[in-house]
Amino acid sequence: MRSSQDIWIAALGELQLQVSKPNFDTWLKDTTGLHYADTTFTIGTPNVFVAEWLEHRLHSVIKRTLSGIIGTSVNVHFQIHMPDSAPAQKTPALQTDGGISVKEREPITRPNLNSRYTFDTFISGECNRMAYAAALEAAEMPGSVYNPLFIYGKTAVGKTHLIHAIGNALINNGRNVVYTNGQRLTNEFVLALKTGRMDDFNQKYRNLDALLFEDIQFLSGKTGTQECFANIFIDLYDTNCQIVISSDVMPKAIESLDEKLRSRLEGGLVVDIQLPDHNTRRAILKTKAQHLGVELSPEAIDFLATRFPSNVREIEGALMRVITYTKLSGGELSTAACMQALAVLDGCNEYISGGKDHTPPASAIIDAVAAYHGLSSDVLKGNRRDKRTAYVRHIAMYLLREQTNTRLAEIGRLLGGRNHSTIVHGCERIAAELSTNPQLEKTLDTIKKSLKK
């Protein structure tokens, strides 16, 4: 039987995909699973502030997630829990009297950085090369090259990995680093004002070698917190402290941001990270599989890289689902296994049931796509390149890749001898459009239903 903590770790894995990263880091990351008895699951929180916030904001989400993992409805209870630990040794302050003063200060603590996020584990490609190079220089020569360094890009493209890599490199060189984000700073600032502990708050952001700050867009419209951050920024910048900031958009696109603060953010180097290209996604999958000690066939890597073009987190999540499924089923990490694992675990196992393979033949998919759009199969296989025909052909490429165990080269052959890069582009175009075009999703569903008939 799994322990309460094991169940909670599994729940945190799912909750991380359901809530924003700032919310997860601020409210969920430091919680623990205390015990589960009589249909009540008790979660330990570090303080009353966190317990109250979770109770009022995330109670229903947590309850639903835990019930799904345990397999039965559960009640959720939050309890203050401070882990047992030896009292921290206080270090004498560096006084002019030689250190004999009775005044003491707390030792510098290591920031909450992921030790796995280093420059060695970051996959560099065309989509992120400039950001990677800038981050590397900021870590090697903090405060003297790019200051501030502003990295922006969509969710899960590698911003956090680079910022943690900078922090880990600096700490290994004995530097004093603080890592935080927009929501955490806001919460700390408000709590310090309420409890009259602004001196403690200000002390945290003094005498630093580097400030690593994620999700600054969260400060949008928060005038008081923006002023607070601007003061921290100026004080640290004047002492050559390396400042690294991330956002989902460039500084000028952050709404309701003070113009003076915006100007300071743009005063250093602003670099973006694009969505990972196909080769970078393949490299990420290969490296991640090696790290997990599994061997993934080149075809399976190609399939997953094509199927999940959006972001790094989605790619890694898909790989973990496939590995988990194949371990449970005892199968191999082949392309067919990837298709089956994703279908079963996503609850959309359309063509695999009753132990029999009902995968439609490639020719049937091409015929179904063509018929739905009022075209002939020969047109999709031919040389017509008008906008509509090319789009329909891309749909056929996507469905052939998604629904069958057909290699990209074979898909190209079936559609008139088109090359590998053309097939990759077509699949990626449809996959990207699916996230913004509900009508396309309905079209694909209709074609899939016609294939099942």
- Percent of the chain past pLDDT 70, that is, above it, reads 88
Residue 84 has pLDDT above 60, yes or no: no
The Cβ of residue 268 has, within 10 Å, a number of other Cβ atoms equal to 20
- pLDDT at position 26 is 78
Name the fold adopted by 4-80. Answer: GMP Synthetase; Chain A, domain 3 (3.30.300)
The Cβ of residue 48 has, within 10 Å, a number of other Cβ atoms equal to 10
Residue 347 has pLDDT above 80, yes or no: no
Residue ranges of the domains in the chain? 4-80, 129-273, 278-349, 362-452
Q: DSSP letters of 197-247? A: -HHHHHHHTSS-SEEEEE-GGGGTT-HHHHHHHHHHHHHHHHTT-EEEEEE
Q: Which of 17-26, 85-94, 386-395 has the lowest mean pLDDT?
A: 85-94
Residue 60 has pLDDT above 70, yes or no: yes
What's the predicted TM-score (pTM) here?
A: 0.58
What mean pLDDT comes out for the span 266-277? Answer: 90
Rounded mean pLDDT of the chain? 83
What mean pLDDT comes out for the span 143-169? Answer: 92
pLDDT level of residue 358 (50, 70, 90 thresholds): low
Residue 40 has pLDDT above 80, yes or no: yes
Name the fold adopted by 278-349. Answer: Helicase, Ruva Protein; domain 3 (1.10.8)
Backbone φ/ψ region at 99: left (φ over 0), alpha (ψ -120 to 50), beta: left
**Tens digit of pLDDT for each residue in 121-135?**
899 888 899 999 999
Residue 94 has pLDDT above 70, yes or no: no
Handedness of CA 285, 287, 290, 295 (dihedral sign): positive
Q: What is the CATH number of domain 362-452?
A: 1.10.1750.10
* CA triple 310-316-320, angle to 5 deg: 135
Tokens of 82: 């401070």
CATH architecture classification, 129-273: 3-Layer(aba) Sandwich (3.40)
What mean pLDDT comes out for the span 64-81? Answer: 89
Residue 355 has pLDDT above 70, yes or no: no
